[in-house]
Amino acid sequence: MDTNDVSEYCNFSPEGRLHQIEYALQAIEIGCTTIGIKSDKGIVIVTEKKINSDLIENRNFENLINLSKSVVCCASGLTSDSRVCIQKIRNFLTNNSFLFKETISIEKCAKKIGCLILNVSPGENKEFHINRPLGVAFLLCGIDHTGIHLFSIDSTGSSDERQIVSLGNGSQDAILITREGFRKKMSLTENKNLAIKSMKMITENKTILKNIELCLLEKKSEKFSFFQIN
């Protein structure tokens, strides 16, 4: 990326703020609600699949995306921006596996996504170029030689490993609700029930939970399982 292009959104305002990054963070807040919980037994991710109109015929799109055999992600924010990141990180993981014959660490994958969001990855021949940070955040779940991991990556490019993560609409409320019932020694079933309970409490329809995607990563088996609640 040209230095002049970077400066367009990396210059501080007189108040010491980076407005373009603040706008990108606001775009994340209107995305689909997603909750991730990590305990000693595994990780659960629950995400809402919003269908904005009854006229939409194709309802088979998925929010939970396999980046590789050991990494799953969920995005919140602008769909077009998330697609760009997902394609680029898939290519990165495939190339890394081909060249080095090893699985990349989840932490390194999270940091790579952070660079892609800021659109500042050095040395890349970019097919996609835009003079702003991407309006998308990711919840990243995976397993490597050090164990299971749950990361959040936002539009500032920061990646943080957490036990509870929430993205999208109502994310702050979701974290508060989930934290009340969370314990490190929870079983995977208890994890799942807590995530679904939290989702029920913050979604608009509090009696019937529809169009929910669910991902379970069991630490013992090291396998992902995917479900859809309709």
Range of 15's domain? 3-229
163 to 82, 125, 227: CA distances (angstroms):
23, 36, 21
- The pLDDT of residue 13 is 76
Q: What is the CATH number of the domain that holds 144?
A: 3.60.20.10
- The pLDDT of residue 195 is 94
Structurally, how many domains does the chain consist of?
Answer: 1
- The pLDDT of residue 57 is 54
Per-residue confidence in pLDDT tens, the chain, 230 aa: 444 444 455 677 777 777 778 878 887 888 889 999 999 999 999 998 766 555 555 555 578 999 999 999 999 988 888 888 899 999 999 999 899 888 889 999 999 999 888 775 545 545 555 677 788 999 999 999 999 999 999 988 889 999 999 998 889 999 999 999 999 889 999 999 999 999 988 876 544 456 788 999 999 999 999 987 76
Per the CB < 8 A criterion, the answer to whether 37 and 191 are in contact is: yes
- The pLDDT of residue 143 is 95
Q: Cα–Cα distance between 84 and 97 in angstroms, integer? A: 20
Q: Cα–Cα distance between 60 and 57 in angstroms, integer? A: 9
19 to 9, 31, 80, 154: CA distances (angstroms):
8, 19, 21, 15
**H-helix or E-strand containing 202?**
helix 188-202
Q: Cα–Cα distance between 166 and 164 in angstroms, integer? A: 7
